[in-house]
Amino acid sequence: MSGFSVNARQPFRIVFAGTPEFAAQHLDALLLANRSIVGVFTQPDKPGKRGRTPVASPVKQLCVKREIPYSQPPAMDAATITALDALQPDLMVVVAYGHKLPKRVLDLPRFGCINVHASLLPRWRGAAPIARAIQAGDEETGVTIMRMDEGWDSGDILHTASCTIGEQDTAASLQEKLSALGQSALNHSIDLLQSGSLAAIPQPAKNSTYAHKLSKDEAAIDWSQSAKQIHRDIRAYIPNPVAHTWLESLRVRIWQAEIADVVTESAHPGEVVAIDKQGIFVRCGAGTLKLLKVQLPIGKGAILNPRDLLNARRDLFLPGSRLRSSDIDP
């Protein structure tokens, strides 16, 4: 165990680096705590759909609203590092920035760079820790405040906070839980760091796991898996990329489901065994899943519950219909 040798009387000059909503919530928490934010780095605006206006990151939007200076470099190049150095930061806080920081940046702030990671490290290092924890059936997760090094989420642990994963938690709902934990843990860690009482614990290499980035292809439901696993996958892919299946030529997105307490052993995986106002019952490799909210590529693409679906398209999801992993499955 090691500690930071710090006892600063003046508030830290903090540079923040982050991009999505999860990051913006942490930046807002620092501002509400009256931290001295001297600069912010965030990703460049994303191209708008169908030639529309480019979309600013949630962090940039917050900076504009709060009149905080920000920068959007496409990479941490020499010019960006020079600009960062000119800010004379005591500390850099990184939350889902989207760029890997080179050693020159890690060494630049007086007291280094710290990161808020949405898992209990060393479990689920990497880009998608929230979704992977749900997929794996983890009952507990949390946030880790980490001193950054040159590896992928491998730095010393400064502080952790944990929470349970509910049976109906989605990646979206769990992210909100973890954001609240992270905001509190981040401010607490900065207070401890400034007082010189923050201990750093090296991460154990044993039992580390990696959370690979989610892809659209993996969100295709494999009905040969158990209802329990498919239910986890559906929850893990909300709000993005959203689990999907194919009904003939229709790509159906599934927004909510639950495990059904019914026996359908005579049906094949992916077969619709019943539909009523309570749900669409689908046989899985083991067990049955009840679909509660689906989205069809028809009209405005509204998300429909079974009652609305029966009223709008009673011809779909008839018993005996087969759901498939792709539009070319037999």
126 located within any domain: yes
CA 182, CA 201: separation in Å to the nearest integer? 18
> pLDDT for 32-78, tens place per residue?
999 999 999 999 999 877 667 899 999 999 999 999 999 999 999 99
Do 185 and 223 lie in a common domain? no
Q: Which pLDDT does position 182 carry in this prediction? A: 98
User: Does residue 329 sit within a domain?
Assistant: no
Residues 172, 233, single domain; the answer is no
pLDDT for residue 312: 85
* CATH code where residue 51 lies: 3.40.50.170
Would the pLDDT of 227 be above 80?
yes
265 and 188 within one domain: no
Q: Do both 166 and 269 map to the same domain?
A: no
| Overall number of domains in the chain | 2
Per-residue model confidence (pLDDT) at position 1 = 47
Q: pLDDT value at position 79?
A: 94
Q: Per-residue pLDDT for 219 more than 80?
A: yes
> pLDDT tens for residues 280-309?
999 999 999 999 999 999 888 899 999 999
Cβ burial of 38 (10 Å; 0-12, 13-18, 19+) is middle
The pLDDT assigned to 263 comes to 80
Q: Which CATH number covers residue 320? A: 3.10.25.10
Residues 184 and 226 in one domain: no
Residue 222 and residue 190 in one domain: no
Q: What is the pLDDT of residue 23?
A: 98
Domain boundary at 196, 211, 226, which? 211
Average pLDDT, the chain: 93
Residue 244 lies in a domain: yes
- Where in the sequence is the domain holding 305, given as residue range(s)? 217-324
Note whether residue 41 is domain-resident: yes
Chain segment 126-135, per-residue pLDDT in tens: 999 999 999 9
What are 123-165's pLDDT values in tens digits?
A: 999 999 999 999 999 999 999 999 999 999 999 999 999 999 9
91 and 191 share a domain?
A: yes
Same domain, 228 and 153: no
